[in-house]
Structure 1
């Protein structure tokens, strides 16, 4: 299988002028198409820092990130922004839906950003796959937490990125909704051949993942390989 994400000898040091904090230490990671990976570990261990660097939201101190063999971390800001929008879908703890747009219009807005004609068939297909067709005319305030996260997944998948980055996507959900959302994410990863990384504090969810990594004090190690 093709490697969609490659992280090579990545490190991140924060310097506040008084002391230096090493958030990541020579981190290596690769995720293939159709592979669902979880990263677990205590708060402040570097999980979210790693995810934001992979997503191009901040630069590493050393090392590199490759997305589909493109040296993503070495691109200038403009090129990195273009690649991020094309190749990466983000799902966050808060669904971050636009409050005055309906479910369908959340996706229509993505088309406007891309300056493309509205892809109604794509919308219909995603809403059906995620079981939210009957919500298309509702506003975020009318949805449950689980429903909002399903819409967030639809929005992340809408422009057909090769990489999905999910940062604590179930933190605000009850157990049943959390399992439901991660099961959907795992299914979409397989069916659409995405490379997905999920940061989570809930170890009950790792049963849906192909590999689980543990991070502590900026050190990443493979915890389990569920394919074996």
Structure 2
């Protein structure tokens, strides 16, 4: 469903430079994979590159596929074809930002429907209301982001990120502002929806216990400060997170 090879970028110059790289990653339909590492190791930078927002310096393959679609986006990415990439990103990718990223001038329900409206897709409103009920936010539909707690914004952002049923969901610390109960509810709903809707999920998280309990494949940052680089490689399930 998603195959990425030889992805890297160097930020800064000289002694201030830092390289973030991902030699290889493959994601199947419905699979949830986690990205882990200490603060500043490049997780968000990696997510931006994978989300077609940040142009990498190097990339040999970025293949996105489904039953009806197969395309290697590497040539488009390296040539910085932003208009084409924006269309592909809007239709096929979902984003869940750590701070929610909700538009302040839209109500909760309008925010949730936005990806469908942007892509000219008829929203499955009964399904979306069901998800909102599961996350205990169905009573917030007419409120605006400034009226919500940070945790409520995160739950709204999750529903919005999958409203258009994307091929790939990129979630940056989706449970960071949630209490343990709502964290478990959202996480297990994410796992369930990934399988049901065949959505591949790449999850950035510091919640190593949650990752281990659900036996997720994990890519961890291997830091080498002497070389000023961070390389994300897959680790064994029984490895501990440093």
TM-score normalised according to structure 2 size: 0.80
1:77 alignment partner in structure 2: 82
1:62 alignment partner in structure 2: 58
CA RMSD of aligned residues (A): 2.4
Question: Map of 1:200-219 to 2, 5 A cutoff?
Answer: 200-206=205-211, 207-208=213-214, 210-217=216-223, 218-219=230-231
Q: 1:209 to 1:101 in 2, by over 3 A?
A: farther
Contact kept, 8 Å, 1:40 with 1:212, in 2: the verdict is yes
Q: 1:18 to 1:154 in 2, by over 3 A?
A: same
Which runs of 5 or more residues in structure 2 are unaligned? 224-229
Contact kept, 8 Å, 2:49 with 2:56, in 1: the verdict is yes
Which runs of 5 or more residues in structure 1 are unaligned? none
Q: 1:73 to 1:202 in 2, by over 3 A?
A: same
2:8 alignment partner in structure 1: 11
Q: 1:55 to 1:42 in 2, by over 3 A?
A: same
Contact kept, 8 Å, 1:130 with 1:154, in 2: the verdict is no
TM-score normalised according to structure 1 size: 0.85
Contact kept, 8 Å, 1:10 with 1:62, in 2: the verdict is yes
Once structures 1 and 2 are overlaid, which stretch shifts more, 120-129 or 76-85? 120-129
Matched, 1:221 2:233: yes
Contact kept, 8 Å, 2:93 with 2:166, in 1: the verdict is yes
**CA distance in structure 1 between the aligned counterparts of 2:222 and 2:134, rounded to whole angstroms:** 36
Contact kept, 8 Å, 1:60 with 1:73, in 2: the verdict is no
Q: 1:160 to 1:117 in 2, by over 3 A?
A: closer
1:40 alignment partner in structure 2: 36
**CA distance in structure 2 between the aligned counterparts of 1:16 and 1:122, rounded to whole angstroms:** 48
**CA distance in structure 2 between the aligned counterparts of 1:116 and 1:32, rounded to whole angstroms:** 24
Contact kept, 8 Å, 2:64 with 2:73, in 1: the verdict is yes
Counterpart pick for 2:202 among 197, 201, 206:
197
C-alpha deviation, 1:95, in angstroms: 0.6
Q: 1:130 to 1:187 in 2, by over 3 A?
A: farther
Helix, strand or coil for the counterpart of 2:236?
strand
**CA distance in structure 1 between the aligned counterparts of 2:10 and 2:114, rounded to whole angstroms:** 36
Counterpart pick for 1:101 among 89, 106, 112:
106
